[in-house]
Amino acid sequence: MTRIALFLATNAAILVLISIVFKVFGFEGILAENGVDLNLQALLVMSAVIGFGGSFISLAMSKFLAKRSMGVRIIEQPANQAEQWLVSTVKHQAKQAGIGMPEVGIFNSPQPNAFATGMSRNNALVAVSSGLLQNMDDDEVEAVLGHEITHVSNGDMVTMGLIQGVINTFVIFLSRVIGHVVDRVVFKTARGYGPAYFITSIVAQIFLSIIASVIVMWFSRRREFRADAGGASLAGRTKMIAALQALQRGKEPKDLPGEFAAFGISGGLGTGVKKLFMSHPPLEERITALREANQ
């Protein structure tokens, strides 16, 4: 809760600062002179409510959506030795990391992968794919679990939700400002909103969302290096490197569907411009970072 409160306070301060800047530089007056009757402060507040509201609703529903969309089967009573080992390993690592015991689940997928999600450090879900259990040995799976537990202990799900909220706020705000300006100044709409406002706002929002995705994915990639380091701390650096190498030996990695892509142990490959939209750094870069960590 402290992380959320500080983040919201920081972004409230940013909104206030932007309002002050608009007043100091007379942006509202310039818009008014050109017939743009736009209350920037009200628009900022509305954008923040929509931007953060969507992120927090998504975060609050993340465990439910994971269970339904990914078909995650929660291990309530281990049915075999493998499930018992999985639960006990997560329990041990959660205790080491100082977090509450997450729910532990398995989802059916031939692709070796795992993810963590949840509203808080003490109310999380850690799930692994059937392909991960079939294609990795215990040491490698232990390292993958350590990686996901680190995501939880670092509060990465909340952090990414807050970052997405900030980005959403400014995408909504700027797209509406651009729509207003084009509608009033270029097409001279006198009252209400003309077609130009809606069309321009939609086009601007799509364009700005693409740029915003680059920023969010950059944060996601930085966060993966930290989770790898945490996995190395919990399970051992050799095991973490071995787990990443095992992912390299598998088939071409793919992102998890939808919002869970950023929370998997591995993601899709990309070259050139596509690398800007990758949720995970290339596996080779992650392995190199671990090898160089203690040099």
- Annotated catalytic residues are 148
Q: Determine whether 188 is exposed, middle or buried from the number of CB atoms within 10 Å of its CB (0-12, 13-18, 19+).
A: exposed
Q: Which two tokens stand for residue 190?
A: 């006198």
* Closest C-alpha to 5, from 155, 140, 105, 131: 155
Sheet holding 123-129, edge to edge: 73-74, 103-107, 123-129, 114-120
Contacts of 253 (CB under 8 A, 6+ apart): 111, 113, 247, 266, 267, 268, 269, 283
**260 and 70 in contact (C-beta within 8 Å)?**
yes
Phi, psi of 189 (to 5 degrees): -70, 125
Q: Which secondary-structure segment (H or E) carries 115?
A: strand 114-120
CA dist list (Å): 191 to 179, 187, 195, 277, 294: 14, 12, 12, 40, 65
DSSP string, 214-267: HHHHHHHHHHHHHHHHHHHHHH-HHHHHHHHHHHHHSSPP-PPSGGGGGGBS--
Cα(131)–Cα(109) distance, integer angstroms:
6
